[in-house]
Amino acid sequence: MTQVNDTLSYPKENIRILLLEGIHPSAVRNLNKNGFTNVERHDVAWSEKELLEKIGDVHVIGIRSKTQITEEVIQKAGKLKAIGCFCIGTNQVDLTAAMRAGITVFNSPYSNTRSVAELVIAESIMLLRKIPLRDKKAHEGVWLKDAKESYEIRGKRIGIIGYGHIGSQVSVLAESMGLKVSYYDILPKLPMGNARRVESMDDLFETCDIITLHVPATPDTYMMIGTDQLSKMKKGSILLNLSRGSVVDIHSLKESIESGHISGAAIDVYPKEPESKNERFHSELQNLPNVILTPHIGGSTLEAQFNIGVDVSTKIINLIDNGTTVGSHSVPELNLPTQKNAHRILHIHENKPGVLSEINRILSDMNINILGQYLKTNEEIGYVVLDIDKQYDEALIEKLSGVKYTIRSRILY
């Protein structure tokens, strides 16, 4: 029998953490403070080729929206335990491949909601006041001092498509500015304040002065705003897209603006975006009147990036320190207590009948006392956490790793 120390089985300083795309230093500080000192940080995204060459000895990788974690990268990442998406989405990661490899994927879906919501309100005011035109003319030396086609935001109706964390925050800010709020979501959502839920997007198009989009990138939202939808919008209304570049048909929007049916637009995301600051940006919407184009910065405030850095790094720390997977998009979520005077083992396996029974049979045959057992499954995999007596047989991990359908098994502490 072997007595183990109440420490991580793998020294923290040997856990290699790779952070790409200029992740906020708050993440590095949080990791360092918790004993993870082997942290490498880069300001740029890596190509798939670079990842394939260098991912082999990485235990944790942190990315934002540009770096693509493909199935090929995951297959090459033999030591990878976690992928941290330091942003709202996870569509840059092959989640199915990560799940089947037992790699936990985290993101930060709430930390920049305020940043996006504030920009929506600010750009709505700018578009209703025709500020892009007046700013351009002032820079050209033209004194365009009049109230023509310039309107207050108060009393107008804003239509929010997607009433999730960002959409509902827009709702609160909009109402405080005197806007009337309507929203549409495919799921029933309780309204904030005096917001009114409508039954279809057409209801929003027909009644709203402002349409703002806050939906994920899915097959259902692909090009959801095209010629037909734009034609149904109120003449003179404005459109804002700070969600995903795939949800608006840019060419149709250009035609609607040029015809005068849509009076303005604010776009932060695009079907194709530059890979880096060195690549030139092109869009059909460039140089159109009353159009604000921003380079995917809806959530890019210092406050948001600081909070995201802390949030995602904390999830990574909790995973490595005690096996907690709350917020995971791949491994089933478990919120685990810290066990004193115990030994913790993590076991990830295919979700097949008989696996848990086999694990318990092994423990029973080896006369090992279980102090705690936690199990969560999804459609493809199961996650079992075992807390056992500090006295254990060295052959235990080998036996657990040999259980049929095992994906990975390891000693945590």
Enumerate the active-site residues: 244, 273, 296
Yes or no: say if 372 and 322 are a contact pair by the CB < 8 Å rule: no
Pick from 374, 399, 372, 371: which is nearest to 384 by CA? 374
- Other CB atoms within a 10 A radius of the CB of residue 47 amount to 13
Yes or no: say if 385 and 336 are a contact pair by the CB < 8 Å rule: yes
Query: Could you write out the DSSP letters of every residue in 328-361?
Result: -SSSPP---PPPTT-EEEEEEEES-TTHHHHHHH
* Bridge pairing between strands 17-19 and 39-41: parallel
CA distance linking residue 263 with residue 146, whole number of Å = 18
CA distance linking residue 255 with residue 260, whole number of Å = 9
Matching residue, tokens 């009076």:
263
- Other CB atoms within a 10 A radius of the CB of residue 116 amount to 25
* Bridge pairing between strands 60-63 and 17-19: parallel
Yes or no: say if 354 and 403 are a contact pair by the CB < 8 Å rule: no
